Amino acid sequence: MKQHLQNPTKNPPPTTTSGSTGVVTDMRVIVPLQGVVQGGGGGLILGSIIPCALFYFFQLYLKSKNRSGDDSAAPPPPQLPEIEPPGGGLQRVQSVRSIWSPRGSNSQVSSRASFVIKQVDNPYYVGLEKSCLDCYDEVCNPGGIIQLGFDENKLSLDVVQDWLMAHTKCSIVCQDLQMNGITAYHPFDGLSELKMAVAGFMSQVMEGRVLFDPSQMNLTSGVSPAIEMLVFCLADLGNAFLVPSPYSPDLDRDIKWRTGVEIIPVPCRSSDNFSLSTASLNRAYNQAKKRGLKVQGVIVSNPSNPVGNLLTRETLYNLLDFATEKNIHVIANETLVGPIDDKNQEFVSMAEIINSEEYDRKRVHIVYGLSKDISLPGFKVGVVYSFNQTVLQASKKLMRFSSVSSLSQRLLVSMFNDSRFVREFIKINRERVERMSDLFVGGLKELGIKCMKSSRGSYCWADMSGFIRPYSEKGELELWEKLLNVAKINATPGSCCHCIEPGWFRFCFASLTEKQVPLVMERIREVL
Site for other proteins, residues 276 to 305, rule: CB under 8 A: 294, 296
216 binds other proteins (CB under 8 A): no
- 37, 44, 49, 90: which one binds other proteins (CB under 8 A): 90
Among 76, 77, 102, 200, binds other proteins (CB under 8 A): 102
CB proximity list for 332: less than 8 A, separation 6 or greater: 299, 300, 301, 302, 349, 350, 364, 365, 366, 367
Instruction: Give, as ranges, the residues between 444 and 483 that touch other proteins (CB under 8 A).
Output: none
User: Segment near other proteins (CB under 8 A), from 16-24, 155-163, 427-435, 515-523?
Assistant: 155-163
| Residue among 310, 395, 299, 294 at smallest CA distance from 349 | 310
CB 418 → other proteins: shortest distance, Å?
A: 16
Spatial CB neighbours of 14, under 8 Å, sequence gap ≥ 6: 1, 4, 20, 22, 23, 26
SS (H, E, C) 328-353: CEEEEECCCCCCCECCCCECCCHHHH
The whole-angstrom distance between residue 500's C-alpha and the CA centroid of its chain comes to 17
Query: Could you say which of 65, 186, 474, 506 contacts other proteins (CB under 8 A)?
Result: 186
CB of 157 to other proteins, least distance (A): 6
Binding piece for other proteins, criterion CB under 8 A, among 304-312, 344-352, 376-384, 451-459: 376-384
Q: Give yes or no for residue 32 binding other proteins (CB under 8 A).
A: no
Shortest approach of other proteins to residue 474 CB, angstroms? 26
CB of 224 to other proteins, least distance (A): 5
Neighbours of 387 (CB within 10 A): 19
Among residues 503, 505, 510, 375, the alpha carbon closest in space to that of 439 is found at: 510
The least CB distance from residue 246 to other proteins, in Å, is: 20
By the rule CB under 8 A, 398 interacts with other proteins: yes
Binding of other proteins at residue 354 (CB under 8 A)?
Answer: no
Task: Among 75, 173, 208, 344, indicate the residue that binds other proteins (CB under 8 A).
Answer: 173
Q: Is residue 112 within the footprint of other proteins (CB under 8 A)?
A: yes
Distance separating alpha carbons of residues 46 and 30, to the nearest angstrom: 10
* Beta partners for residue 329, in sequence order: 297
Angle value at C-alpha 389, between 385 and 394, nearest 5 degrees? 85
Q: Which is nearer to other proteins, 379 or 467 (CB)?
A: 379
CA atoms within 13 A on the CB side of 381: 30
Q: Which stretch binds other proteins (CB under 8 A): 2-10, 165-173, 199-207, 423-431?
A: 165-173
Interactions with other proteins, residue window 225-244 (CB under 8 A): 225, 228, 232-239
d(CA 513, CA 201): 27
Whether the bond between 339 and the residue before it is cis, its omega within 30 degrees of 0, is: no
* Residue ranges in 55-84 that form contacts with other proteins under rule CB under 8 A: 84
CB of 25 to other proteins, least distance (A): 19
> How many Å apart are CA 474 and CA 484, to the nearest integer?
15
93 part of the interface to other proteins, by CB under 8 A? yes
In the bound state with other proteins, the residue whose beta carbon lies nearer, of 120 and 428, is 120
Q: Is 499 one of the binding residues for other proteins (CB under 8 A)? A: no
Residue 369 amino acid letter: G
- Measured CA angle at 126 (ends 110, 507), to 5 deg: 125
| Minimum separation from the CB atom of position 70 to other proteins (A) | 17
Q: Which stretch in 335-343, 371-379, 444-452, 477-485 sits in contact with other proteins by CB under 8 A? A: 371-379
Least Cα distance to 258 among 458, 93, 448, 30 occurs for 93
Q: Which of 14-22, 100-108, 194-202, 424-432 is the region at the interface with other proteins (rule: CB under 8 A)?
A: 100-108
Query: With contact defined as beta carbons under 8 Å apart, do 484 and 144 qualify?
Result: no
Give the binding-site size for other proteins (rule: CB under 8 A).
97
**Region binding other proteins by CB under 8 A among candidate stretches 4-12, 152-160, 336-344, 481-489:** 152-160
Among 6, 8, 169, 448, interactor with other proteins by CB under 8 A: 169
**Contact of 266 with 244, CB cutoff 8 Å:** yes
Instruction: Pick the binder of other proteins from 10, 67, 256, 380 (CB under 8 A).
Output: 380
Radius of gyration of the chain (CA): 23
Q: Which stretch binds other proteins (CB under 8 A): 206-214, 283-291, 374-382, 422-430?
A: 374-382
**Residues in a beta bridge with 63:** none
DSSP 58: H
308-316, 350-358, 375-383, 419-427 -> range binding other proteins (CB under 8 A):
375-383
